[in-house]
Amino acid sequence: TMVEYPFNFPELKPYEVRLRIAYTGLCHSDVHTAKSEWWDVKYPIVPGHEVLGIITHVGADVQTLKVGDRAGFGPIRFSCDTCNLCLRGNTHLCKGNVAPEVHYLNGKYFGGFATHIQAPAKTCIKIPESLPDDRTPPLLCAGLTVYSPLKRYVKAGDSVGVIGIGGLGHLAIKYAKALGCRVTAYTSKVAEKRDELIKMGADEVRSSVDLDDLKAGAESQNFVMNCLYTNNKDQMNAFFGLTERGGTFCQLAVPPKGEGMNINLSRLVMAQIQLVGSLSGSIKDTEEMLEFSAKHNILPDCE
Amino acid sequence: MESTLKHSIYQHTDIQAADAVAKAFIDKTPTMVEYPFKFPELKPYEVRLRILYTGLCHSDVHTVKSEWYPAQYPVVPGHEILGIITHVGSEVQNFKVGDRAGFGPQRFYCENCKACKRGAIQLCNGNLAPETLFLYDPYFGGYATQIQGPAKACVKIPEALPNDRTPPLLCAGVTVYNPIKRYVKAGDNVGIVGIGGLGHLAVKYAKAVGAHVTAYTSKVAEKKDELTKLGADEVRSSVDLEDLKTGAGTQDFVLTCVYVPGTLMEAYVNLVANGGTYCQIALPGHGEKLNLDIGRIVMGQIQVAGSLTGSIKDLEEMLEFSAKHNILPDCEIFEWEDFPTAFSKCEKGTAKYRCVVNCENYTKKVGK
C-alpha cells in the first residue's frame, strides 16, 4: 500500500549531503523489497535507488560535492573502505560492519521515491554535463548492473547473448554493441519485438522460451547475460547451454530467496565455462559507466 | 583372447619384431597385459619419443574401466610422458632427434575453431578425424616404451627439470597451474580441497604466487604435519560439514580437486568470499549436477568455473614457472615390472602423491 508521507530528516551528518530530487527511476528490486519478497521489511519503507537531483545541503566533512552540483545515487549507500573487498575496489560487495549505516540505499533509510534524499556523500555521484535529467536515473542502477559485467568479461568481436529484454536487457544490448560485440537478443516475443530490438542494436533476435530453438543455438555465445529469472529448470539449462567453450554465463536477475539452479558439472569442467553473478558495481564503476554512456550516447528508453 | 589383442592402428607382434612394448588393458576389470607392437608409418607431422619416465593419472583408471564411456580395447592409457625424440616427421620443424620432450593429455587440435583461435586448444571442438583430441583411445598413450604423436602437441622440457619427477607436471601440474594463474593474486586466501596428485601441486603453486593457503583434507589429524610441510598455512576438514560452515565466505579462490556428490560440494562453493571464484577441476562421472544457490551467486558476485588442463603454451609456461620456483610433484617411482602395483596405487588413490614408472631401464633391457 503506497501513501503520501511528508517527513522531517534527522540532522545532516558531517559526511552526508541532501539532494532535491529532479527525476527518480523505478526498479523491479523496489517491488521485491516493498512486498517483503526478499526479507521481512520494517514498514513504512521508501524504496528507490536511481536518483538524480541538485545538492542543497553539504555536511561539514564533505569535500567532493558542493551546493548546486547535479548529482545522483544508485543502489549503494555506504561502504567501510577497510575490508578486503573494499580494498580490492569492490566497495559494492563490502562485508564490513558499517552500523549504524547500511550497505544499500533501500531499507532502513529512505530512498528515491521522494522529493529529497539525504545520504553519505561518498556514494553520491556527479552527473556528466551531457547527460539529460530525465533519462539518466536508470543508468545509476540498471545501466551500472549491465555495464559492469560487460566491461569485466567481453572484448570487441565477442558474441554476446542478452536474455530478457526489459530495463536491464535493453541497456545491455546498447552497451554490448558499443563495446564492439555481435549481439543476440533473446526475447519471449520474437515476432512482436524483432523490429524494435534490431533498431536498438541487436544483430539477431531469438526466442527465450522455445526450448528447441535454444538448443539449436547451443554454444553460440561467448558471453551470456541473463537478465531473467525463471524457475523453469529446462529453460535455465537451455540458457546455460548457449555458452560456448571457454565462455561465461552471467546471472543478473536475483531469484526469490533459496532458489537453486542445478548445473551439469561435467560440462562446466570439460567446456571450461564460468557461471558468474554480478551485482551492480562500485562508485568508480558508476562514474566510468556514466562517462561511457555520455560518450556513446547510451540512454535507457523511458516512460 | 585373440580378439581383444587386435588393434585397428597398431600391429600386435612378438617382442623381437616390435617397435615398442606397452602395458595394455584388454577389458574393464581392468586386465593389464604386456603388449609388444609395431607403430604405423610415421606421419609427416609426427614425432616418436623413447619414453624415459611415464606418469599415472586417475583419469587413466576411469578410462580403462570404461567408467566415462565404453573404451576401445585394447587400450593403452598414460598422458604424462617424458622422453627423447628418436624419429621426426618430414614436416616437423620445432623438434629434432635427441631433444628431451614430453606429451600431456592432448594429442591434436584443429587450429580453426573458435576455441583454438582464442588459444584454448584443449577446448577444441573441430572435426579432427582421423586424429583425436586426447592422447589415447584409440591411439596408444604413455604406458609404453615409445610413443608416436603429432609434434604440435609435444612440448620441450626445460633443462633444469629432472626426468623422473617432471611427467606429472604435464597433466596434474598444468591442470592446477592454469586456474591458479587465471584467478589468484598475491595476498589472496586460497582453499585447496582434496590433497592428492592435483591438490598437493596446487598448494605449492598457490604458495609460489603469494597466496595464503588452506588445505582441506578428509584426514586432518593424520595429514596436518605433512601438509604444513608442503606449504599449507592452515589445514581444515573437507568432510566435517559444521567446520566447513564456520569457514563460509573465507576464501577468495577455492580449487576443488575431488569429486564428492551432494551437500559437501555445496559447502565448498560456500567457502568462497564475495567477489571470489570457485573452480572445479576433478571430473565427476557423467551428468552429475551441482546445486547452486543463485541468489548467493548474484548477491555475492561469485564466479563458479570449470577448468580443463591447458594449451601447449600453458604447458610451456607452467614448466618454466615450475623450474623457476623449484616446484615438482612428490612421486613414488616404480620399475616397469611393478607397473601393476603402481596402477593399483593410482586406482586406490593411495599414492604420495603421484605414481611414475621408470620405462628407461626396461627399454634398455629389451633393446627398444
B205 φ/ψ angles, rounded to the nearest 5 degrees: -65, -40
Please state, in angstroms and as integers, the Cα–Cα distance from residue A293 to each residue in A48, A136, B203, following that order. Answer: 21, 9, 44
pLDDT grade, residue B306 (50/70/90)?
very high
- Whether B281 and B257 have beta carbons less than 8 Å apart is answered as yes
Q: Do B298 and A253 touch (CB under 8 A)?
A: yes
Which portions of chain A are predicted below pLDDT 50? none
- Whether B89 and B42 have beta carbons less than 8 Å apart is answered as yes
Å between A142 CA and nearest CA of chain B? 15
**pLDDT value at position B285?**
66
pLDDT grade, residue B301 (50/70/90)?
very high
- Region of A36 (left: φ > 0; alpha: ψ -120 to 50; beta: rest) is left
Q: Which residue of A93, A266, A269 is in closest CB contact with B274?
A: A93
Q: Which helix (H) or strand (E) holds A37?
A: none
At B230, is the secondary structure helix, strand, or coil?
helix
Q: Do B297 and A259 touch (CB under 8 A)?
A: no
* Dist. CA B319–CA B104, nearest whole Å: 12
Residues of B in contact with A251 (CB under 8 A): 294, 297-298
Q: Could you give the count of Cα atoms lying within 13 Å of B145 in the half-sphere of its Cβ?
A: 22
- Whether B215 and B232 have beta carbons less than 8 Å apart is answered as yes
* Dist. CA B307–CA A272, nearest whole Å: 5
**pLDDT value at position B288?**
78
Residues of B in contact with A93 (CB under 8 A): 274-275, 300-301
- Closest residue in chain B to residue A257, using alpha carbons only: B295
* Dist. CA B306–CA B283, nearest whole Å: 9
All 3 cell numbers of residue B42? Answer: 610415421
Direct distance between the N- and C-terminal alpha carbons of chain A, in angstroms, rounded to an integer: 22
Chain B interface, mutation test: which of A275, A282, A285, most B Cβ atoms within 10 Å?
A: A275
**pLDDT value at position A264?**
84
pLDDT per position as a tens digit, B216-249: 999 999 999 999 999 999 999 999 999 999 999 9
Chain B interface, mutation test: which of A95, A268, A273, A278, most B Cβ atoms within 10 Å?
A: A268
- Whether B121 and B106 have beta carbons less than 8 Å apart is answered as yes
- Reported in sequence order, the residue ranges of chain A that DSSP labels E, i.e. its strands, are 16-25, 50-58, 70-73, 116-120, 124-126, 159-163, 182-187, 204-207, 221-226, 243-251, 260-264, 274-277
Which residues does residue B191 pair with via DSSP β-bridges, in sequence order?
B214, B254
- Reported in sequence order, the residue ranges of B26-175 that DSSP labels E, i.e. its strands, are 32-38, 46-56, 81-88, 100-103, 146-150, 154-156
Q: Which residue of A253, A265, A277 is in closest CB contact with B302?
A: A277
CB atoms within 10 A of CB B158: 15
ipTM surpassing 0.90: no
Q: Do B249 and A95 touch (CB under 8 A)?
A: yes
Q: Which residue of B114, B275, B295 is in closest CB contact with A244?
A: B114
Q: Do B301 and A277 touch (CB under 8 A)?
A: yes
Å between A21 CA and nearest CA of chain B? 28
Burial A122-136 (b: 16+ CB within 10 A, else e): bbbbebeeebeeebb
All 3 cell numbers of residue B87? Answer: 624419429
pLDDT per position as a tens digit, B50-90: 999 999 999 999 999 998 889 999 999 999 999 999 999 99
Chain A interface, mutation test: which of B298, B302, B308, B314, most A Cβ atoms within 10 Å?
A: B298
Q: Do A277 and B115 touch (CB under 8 A)?
A: no
Q: Do A278 and B302 touch (CB under 8 A)?
A: no
CB atoms within 10 A of CB A56: 14
All 3 cell numbers of residue B292? Answer: 547452486
Interface of A with B (CB under 8 A): 84-85, 88, 90, 93, 95, 219, 222, 229, 244-246, 251-279
Q: What percentage of chain B reaches a pLDDT higher than 90?
A: 91
* Bond prior to A109 in cis (omega within 30° of 0): no
Q: Which residue of A251, A253, A269 is in closest CB contact with B280?
A: A269
- Whether A109 and A210 have beta carbons less than 8 Å apart is answered as no
Residues of B in contact with A262 (CB under 8 A): 289-292
* Dist. CA B148–CA B100, nearest whole Å: 14
pLDDT at B317 over 50: yes
Q: pTM for this structure?
A: 0.92
pLDDT per position as a tens digit, B10-21: 999 999 999 999
**pLDDT value at position B261?**
75
- Whether B140 and B22 have beta carbons less than 8 Å apart is answered as yes
Q: Which residue of B283, B300, B308 is in closest CB contact with A272?
A: B308
pLDDT at B3 over 70: no
Q: Which residue of A245, A251, A269 is in closest CB contact with B283?
A: A269
Q: How many helices (H) and strands (E) does chain A have?
A: 9, 12
